[in-house]
Amino acid sequence: MIIGIIGSGAMGAGIAQVVATAGHTVRLLDQNTQALQRAGQSIQNNLNKLAEKGKLTVEAAAEVFNRLHLTEDIGTFNDCGLVLEAIVEDLGVKQQLFREVEMLVAEDCILASNTSSLSIASIAAACQKPERFVGIHFFNPAPLMQLVEVIPAVQTRPGLAEQVRDLVQSWGKLPVLTKDTPGFIVNRVARPFYGEAIRILEEGIADIATIDCAMTELGGFRMGPFALMDFIGHDVNYRVTESVFTSFFFDPRYKPSFTQKRLFEAGYYGRKSGRGFYNYAEGAVQPEPTRDEALSRRILNRVLAMLINEAVDALALNVASKQDLELAMTKGVNYPKGLLAWADELGLPAVLTTLDELYDEYHEDRYRASALLRRMVRQNQTFFQQETVAHG
């Protein structure tokens, strides 16, 4: 199958590298000549590095690059079996693009979007044949990140999502199937990692260094929430939170914070701008965490209970299967454990108690426990079979 990719930014170029490496002829399209040349150079550099490390032979790297065709002419997409866009997150722009693409490609060509925040149904609605439309959401950087979310729209024909999932798997990726709901799996379930950490900061319970330390040293997360938000950039992270909040009809569980909004408004985007929650200027002294076991445990339990509740609710609403929810959080955002397995480990009653105590304290809807969690505690159930230890 020949694959067309539209948009040669970091995501588009990364996806092009993935599919070319998997053996497909790839047409990478961008109207911006310089951006296209930069993408080609970047892919070539990546392939050379892989060859230097011995992960690809020099010949294989050259073959992969030869399968890549840079183009500014959308007319060259007429023989593509799949066309995937990775352009600006703007619904009108994406819809207009697919109206043009649909006029050029064959009737059986699959159309796909790499959107992380827009509804797949709304993009598909611009097409004359929306039944061939699907979401294929990669994570940045696409060549390194294993997870890919595959999202059928309400219009997608039965069986297409599974066909696309198998195709993505053949590219050496780990695909998960998810419902077309705001944030899909990862950007929905991960919201409390940021939101609840900021809430703990705003209440003066602990500072950023202490919260980050609790989540990494005690929780085993690779990065603390504040370091991670600074790494992603508040221009991206805040916008995603705001988009998820709006898309969920202003459900208070996803409510953005003024603390992050002010950083965003000030242009303090994090590492990329030299300042965010932390100061990245040369010679800046980083704050030291307070090492207090009881405080760290309290921080971790609160954030973890909120994350688990989000995963349980996604399961309750059939957003994805148990297995796909676990895979998404461990491979999409590198969580140390799947949240449902973690819930089993902590004990569902303990998680429910944490949530109910928060709800009793605040009387805010953001702390409402999922009905599924409550039901499972009542029926003494776990998400996965607990192995019984035989005592000899």
Which domains, from first to last, does the chain contain?
A: 3-180 (3.40.50.720), 185-392 (1.10.1040.50)
Residue from 8, 119, 187, 237 carrying the catalytic annotation: 187
The list of the chain residues with pLDDT below 70 reads 386-392
| Residue 282 burial (10 A CB sphere; 0-12, 13-18, 19+) | exposed
**What's the pLDDT score for residue 162?**
98
Q: What angle do CA 137, 141, 145 make, to 5 degrees?
A: 70
Is 149 marked active-site? yes
Distance CA 353, CA 349 (A): 6
Comparing CA positions, the residue from 365, 309, 363, 319 lying closest to residue 340 is 309
pLDDT given for residue 73 in this prediction: 96
Q: Active-site residue 237, yes or no?
A: no
Assess contact for 315 and 322: CB atoms under 8 A: yes
Q: Which of the following is catalytic: 8, 46, 114, 116?
A: 116
Contact 146, 331 (CB under 8 A): yes
Active-site residue, 162 included: no
Q: Are 15 and 29 in contact (CB under 8 A)?
A: no
Instruction: Tell me whether residue 137 is one of the annotated catalytic residues.
Output: yes
Other Cβ atoms less than 10 A from the Cβ of 269: the count is 21
Whether the ω angle into residue 141 lies within 30 degrees of 0, i.e. cis, is yes
Alpha-carbon Rg for the chain, nearest whole angstrom, is 22
pLDDT at residue 386, as a whole number: 66
Cβ atoms of residues 145 and 121 within 8 Å: no
- Residue 229 is predicted with a pLDDT of 98
Catalytic choice (114, 137, 237, 326) = 137
pLDDT value, residue 317: 98
Label residues 109-124 b or e (16+ Cβ within 10 Å = b): bbbbbbbbbbbbbebb
Residue type, 40: G
Beta bridge partners of 275: 270, 279
CA 180 to chain centroid: 14
> What was the pLDDT predicted at 391?
45
pTM attached to this predicted model: 0.95
Catalytic residue among 85, 102, 149, 326: 149
In SS3 terms, 54-88 reads as CCCCHHHHHHHHHCEEEECCHHHHHHCCEEEECCC
Phi first, then psi: give them for residue 94, nearest 5 degrees. -65, -45
Burial of 51 (0-12, 13-18, 19+ CB in 10 A): middle
297-335 pLDDT, tens digit per residue, is: 999 999 999 999 999 999 999 999 999 999 999 999 999
